[in-house]
Structure 1
Amino acid sequence: MPQPPSAVTRDEPVIRDRGDACPGALRLHAADDGFLARVRIPGGLLTAPQASALGLAAERFGDGHLELTSRGNVQVRGLSEGCGAGLAQLLDSAGLLPAPGHERVRNVVATPLSGQGQPGRPDVLPWVRELDRLLCANARVTALSGRFLFAFDDGRGDVAALGPDVTVLGRPDGRALLRLGPADGAVAVAGDDAPRAALAAAEYFLDAADAAGTRAWRVRELPAGHALDEAEFAVRLAAAGIAAAPVAAAHRPYSAPPSPGWTGGALCVLPPLGRLDAGQWRALSEVAARGGSGMRITPWRTVVVPGAPSDGPARLAAAGLAVTPGSRWENVTACTGRPGCAKALADVRADAAAAAERARGPLPVHWSGCERRCGHPQGRAWVDVVATGPGYALSVHGRPVPDHPDLTAALAAARSTPSEEAEAPSATQ
């Protein structure tokens, strides 16, 4: 099983001359297959009516497909020019645009199985909802990059391993640890104060970024002289009425993402390559509606359905979704590739699908149409397959794999690299 990062290093400071161009639900991105909208889903939490609204948006305005992202968000592709107002109205009516000025900064991931009968683990989802409310009411945080990431982890260490900018790690005693970027230390606060503390952490970052003058998007991009400090953060929290205590070397738990199938009373569903057509999304929405608790989009491009009915797996399997462990699609991801992306050098989705059956292995694999590696895995060792034009270049966490005439055989061997030989990477996106 892939292990958590053994050591996290700070990236070199980045000096930027512009703001980020991350798409949103209102700021559409022009792609080769039409415009793209990215709808932020804090914590991945979708009600059944909201899920139905997203499906309607894809059918009415887009190409009929929905894509899951590595931030637990949902993308609609193939949008026509001039559909922005209609799309925004539909999303707003479903409660998916609670604050239009904040929609790109609502990047929050959460343990998807939180609250599902794990003794000793807090349910972090109420904390997610409260942070979202606080974000939407705070004018200062609109200056955050669309790449800034919050993570609420119930203590098992799944989303905490994704390289967040602000990590909230629940503890059995009801308290929470807040980690700032890749720091070893953390700050302990009461669980009820965790959402306010997470917001304060974002404001602390913005102050440091303003002082640095480098227009940093992420905590790890701050120059060393402006790095965030746990002791100073604790003082800031105290001034805001939040009791806090620095923790010099906070524990880093790790848990692998949920696999397709049942975990307790929740069903984990894997759409091939994180993409669903209208029929598949409709089937998933209907199963979630019958479960009564909506669905949770995960940062691993899966969907968790709490309380799914007993016939849910059969219904979803018939629609072409993986609902049992061992699927050939497990741990296989890909960027959009051709023809949707102008920068792509290959149809990576088609090539990934062709190799999925034979090139199985424990390590995740991500297919990229170019060197940007959009949407690659975070926090785990992974096999990198990058289109070069004439073919593909393979590497396992930065170590090139020798050229081989049979790409699929080489990929299968790379995915079987023992995890102890493949250093787990620090997040780079």
Structure 2
Amino acid sequence: MTKRSHHDRCPGVLRPWIADDGALVRLRLVGGVLPTSSLRALIGIAQEHADGTIHLTKRTNLQLRGIAHSGGCVPGELVDALAGVGLLPSVTHELVRNIMVSPLTGRSGGRADLRATARELDRQLCADPELAGLAGRFLFVLDDGRGDLASRSLDLGVMAIDPDTVQIRIGSHHWGELATREEAPEALLAYARAFLRINGEGESALWHLDELPRGGAELTGIHHARDLRTQVTGLPQPYGIIAQDDGSRAEHLAVPAGLLTPELAQAVLARAGTEVIVTPWRSIIIPDLEST
């Protein structure tokens, strides 16, 4: 069992990380979905308050760095600007909104569309004051059955086995019950609450299910076999044009070193519709493009 000696220090807007080049803040995106209206505003915010570049993370989130700070806090004007464009939707739960989803779910391939599942998980998560006690590194991973996220370490998650059914994942190595897509958010959060009852208190509290003596298996009460249909893996989508199931197209763009410069961001906006998707591979997908 892992022993901890301090609280997790995963950054947010209201709890920045103070680095040598200034403060760093992390902006959490559910499933990597970033409205283009928010991206457009964030370009200006990054130029005014940070180093001008939007940094993509492997957890499908965004970071700004090089921010002026005082007393461990970033300027209130920056906080207000981020909240005003929807990038700080929850003050109490901003650190725990870590929800990764297969980037092309519901658009191209996969067994199930998990977009609504992810949104409902986030809604229920933010509605429960108890769940604000999860560590900032606690991660939910929703794989739509293609296996592109199957190898990711996680705390809780699902793997789709057909369009309406998923199997719950508990820690990186254990499996729970089968559930419908509609039941999945409540089931996942029930396990998260159970973890908070046994993970300890204060600076020694555990951050992850994998740190429990049995790696999270103790939360299930009974053994659940892994459904054979979950035994799939998938590679990241190649860069370039991807056919969507509805006849439209998506474009997968490389973002060198995960650094979205103002010039590259403007090029993305010139092609994008209402949203873009930040991937776990620090790249961007522009979905729903018209076929030519």
- Give the TM-score of the pair, scaled to structure 1: 0.62
Aligned counterparts, 1:42-53, within 5 A: 42-53=30-41
Contact 1:124–1:154 (Cα < 8 Å) also in 2: yes
Q: Which residue of 1 aligns with 2:172?
A: 182
Measure, in 2, the Cα distance between the counterparts of 1:125 and 1:197: 17
Which letter does structure 1 place at the counterpart of 2:239?
P
Measure, in 1, the Cα distance between the counterparts of 2:18 and 2:279: 25
Q: Which runs of 4+ in 1 moved over 6 A?
A: none
Which of 226, 235, 247 is residue 249 of structure 1 equivalent to? Answer: 226
Q: Which residue of 1 aligns with 2:217?
A: 228
For the pair 1:56 / 2:51, whether they are aligned, the reply is: no
Q: Which residue of 2 aligns with 1:155?
A: 145
Which letter does structure 1 place at the counterpart of 2:75?
G
Measure, in 2, the Cα distance between the counterparts of 1:29 and 1:309: 41
1:269 Cα deviation from its structure 2 partner: 0.8
Contact 2:7–2:204 (Cα < 8 Å) also in 1: no
Q: Which residue of 1 aligns with 2:2?
A: 14
Which of 225, 237, 242 is residue 258 of structure 1 equivalent to? Answer: 237
1:113 Cα deviation from its structure 2 partner: 0.7
Contact 1:25–1:39 (Cα < 8 Å) also in 2: yes
Which of 77, 91, 114 is residue 82 of structure 2 equivalent to? Answer: 91
1:214 Cα deviation from its structure 2 partner: 4.6
1:228 Cα deviation from its structure 2 partner: 3.2
Query: Structure 1 residues 253, 230: CA separation in 2 closer, same or farther (over 3 Å shift)?
Result: farther
1:53 Cα deviation from its structure 2 partner: 2.3
Which of 251, 270, 273 is residue 286 of structure 1 equivalent to? Answer: 270
Bigger share in strand: 2
1:68 Cα deviation from its structure 2 partner: 0.4
Measure, in 1, the Cα distance between the counterparts of 2:129 and 2:173: 27
Contact 2:158–2:167 (Cα < 8 Å) also in 1: yes
1:199 Cα deviation from its structure 2 partner: 1.4
Measure, in 2, the Cα distance between the counterparts of 1:84 and 1:160: 39
1:284 Cα deviation from its structure 2 partner: 1.4
Which letter does structure 1 place at the counterpart of 2:159?
L
Secondary structure of the structure 2 residue equivalent to 1:300: coil
Secondary structure of the structure 2 residue equivalent to 1:285: helix
Secondary structure of the structure 1 residue equivalent to 2:178: strand
Which letter does structure 2 place at the counterpart of 1:255?
G
Unaligned regions of 5+ residues in structure 1, if any? 1-12, 234-245, 312-429
Query: What whole-Å deviation, never above 9, does each CA across 1:351-393 have from its counterpart, x for those lacking one?
Result: xxxxxxxxxxxxxxxxxxxxxxxxxxxxxxxxxxxxxxxxxxx
Q: Which residue of 2 aligns with 1:37?
A: 25
Measure, in 2, the Cα distance between the counterparts of 1:58 and 1:84: 13
Q: Which residue of 1 aligns with 2:190?
A: 200
Secondary structure of the structure 2 residue equivalent to 1:192: coil
Which letter does structure 2 place at the counterpart of 1:27?
R
Higher relative contact order (CA 8 A, sep 6+): 2
Secondary structure of the structure 2 residue equivalent to 1:113: coil
Query: Structure 1 residues 253, 68: CA separation in 2 closer, same or farther (over 3 Å shift)?
Result: same
Measure, in 1, the Cα distance between the counterparts of 2:265 and 2:28: 17
1:249 Cα deviation from its structure 2 partner: 2.5
Which of 114, 122, 135 is residue 124 of structure 1 equivalent to? Answer: 114
Contact 1:153–1:160 (Cα < 8 Å) also in 2: yes
Measure, in 1, the Cα distance between the counterparts of 2:234 and 2:285: 16
Q: Which residue of 2 aligns with 1:69?
A: 57
For the pair 1:143 / 2:122, whether they are aligned, the reply is: no
The sequence identity of aligned pairs, in percent, is 35
For the pair 1:103 / 2:94, whether they are aligned, the reply is: yes
Measure, in 2, the Cα distance between the counterparts of 1:112 and 1:309: 19
Contact 1:153–1:169 (Cα < 8 Å) also in 2: yes
Measure, in 1, the Cα distance between the counterparts of 2:190 and 2:286: 32
Q: Which residue of 1 aligns with 2:261?
A: 277
1:222 Cα deviation from its structure 2 partner: 1.0
Which letter does structure 2 place at the counterpart of 1:141?
L
Contact 2:11–2:26 (Cα < 8 Å) also in 1: yes
Larger Rg: 1
Secondary structure of the structure 2 residue equivalent to 1:171: strand
Measure, in 2, the Cα distance between the counterparts of 1:216 and 1:128: 25
Unaligned regions of 5+ residues in structure 2, if any? 244-248
Secondary structure of the structure 2 residue equivalent to 1:97: coil
1:231 Cα deviation from its structure 2 partner: 4.0
Which of 303, 306, 331 is residue 287 of structure 2 equivalent to? Answer: 306
Query: Structure 1 residues 32, 145: CA separation in 2 closer, same or farther (over 3 Å shift)?
Result: same
How many residue pairs are counted as aligned between the two chains? 282
